[in-house]
Structure 1
């Protein structure tokens, strides 16, 4: 980390621990402990990383609904310990919309605790015509249904959003606006489910059509604001000396020799 800081002073980091639960993380192929994760974060903060993005997920092997909420709670600990300079940004989102076709998990879902809902290209195409992102998901797990994945994502996102507002990572006004969007999205999801469960054919299509424009609005950056994902940049990001040397001496290698 020290070498990175020396060679790239304005550096950002993205890391995907996936879950606070080490067993869940290990099951998803991330064999490091929370202690190791926090040691890494401490080093990143100490070496003045400009921004550190932490990505957590829902819909993982061995992860249940409560585990998702505990991940959001774990983020409080991380932010209180390592987020004092407002450079640490945690996010939570579903493993969506698909388990990647052709991946080991897709080919052997039962081995990893997944149950595939679609397998063929046509099944996936039809799923993408569904009325909400819940109906795009091509899997459930032994620990969570599609409903669990959807609503734990919203509730985990709500808790994380409230935490960011409380600690000043985002403004109170933005936190309040996101909370309203999450509430509206949950209500819209329930309305869609009610239509799908109680209607069929043309009646269902008409009812969903009437909701369509509202659904599109609800699914835009719901659990966080898209601006939260923007990395800090500097105007003078390019090495103009190297660019000038390349223009003037195009035949020469544009590298600095070690002295």
Structure 2
């Protein structure tokens, strides 16, 4: 799967690096596993969580290792090889032009921002496998003591609510149109804003133990999943 996306290293090589890093005294190693990749289906996303458990059990001592699951979002990058040659990489583009992407960013949830599906997963499957993979990984972290059990329970509840809101949005989009749809989405607005806060980890998991600089990975991840809608004036 990695090789299909230009990352030609094996799990054995990854674990060799982790072993060397831990032995060398690394205090923090973040691993980001993505959803929406070539040759990846719903089941393989969940298998990633099983592999994350293996990594945490072997290299997660002293909370050194922090794995995460996040989507390839909001776009398959325009200008990238996968965007320019989608069939070769197993993608189906949903938008191509700048205007199509701008309109997508006005959608009611991050699912509607995604500009692609794959041969192996629909847009729905990419979204819901991300939530389910994140939920299961969160449970593993809680079980192994990587994060406090109370925090794991709170994250699980936030993910559950986010999935509920996503399904409500889908129902509105599928069954309503025009002013009726806009009004229903407006009434759901507060819950949508809460969903945007409910990414699949807690912000403290993304804080690095350093006194010299700080990178706000929570904001970076949130910007990827929930980019601000551009303030673009339309030509009259």
Normalised TM-score (structure 1): 0.81
Counterpart for residue 253 of structure 1: none
- 2:165 match: 188
Larger Rg: 1
1:162 is matched with: 139
2:23 maps to 1:46: yes
Query: In the alignment, which residue of structure 1 is the partner of 2:126?
Result: 149
2:73 is aligned, of 96, 105, 109, to 96
**CA-to-aligned-CA distance 1:39-86 (integer Å, 9 cap, x gap):** 100000001101000010000000000000000110000000111121
List per-residue Cα deviations over 1:139-167 (Å, max 9, x = no partner).
00000000000000000000100011111
2:68 maps to 1:77: no
Q: Which runs of 5+ in 1 are unaligned?
A: 1-23, 239-259
Specify every segment of 5 or more residues in structure 2 that has no aligned partner in the other structure, as ranges: 214-236
**Structure 1 residue 119 corresponds to structure 2 residue 96:** yes
Separation in 2, partners of 1:167, 1:100: 36
- How far the C-alpha of 1:214 sits from its partner, in A, is 1.0
Runs of 4+ in 1 over 3 A off after TM superposition: none
SS in 1 for 2:33: strand
Equivalence for 2:181: 204
- Structure with higher RCO (Cα < 8 A, 6+ apart): 2
TM-score normalised by length of structure 2? 0.89
- What's 1:110 paired with? 87
Structure 1 position 226, deviation (Å): 1.6
Q: 2-side partners of 1:87 and 1:149: how far apart?
A: 29
How far apart, CA to CA, are the structure 2 residues paired with 1:222 and 1:39? Answer: 30
Q: CA deviation at 1:28?
A: 1.1
What is the Cα deviation at residue 217 of structure 1?
Answer: 1.1
Q: 2:107 aligns with which of 130, 136, 161?
A: 130
RMSD of aligned Cα (Å): 1.0
| Count of aligned pairs between the two proteins | 213
Q: State the secondary structure of the residue aligned to 1:202.
A: helix
Secondary structure in structure 1 of the residue aligned to 2:68: strand
Confirm or deny that 1:37 pairs with 2:14.
yes
Give, in angstroms, the shift of residue 117 of structure 1.
0.2
1:81-114 C-alpha deviation (Å, 9 max, x unpaired): 1111211000000000001111111111111000
Offset of 1:221 from its aligned partner?
4.2
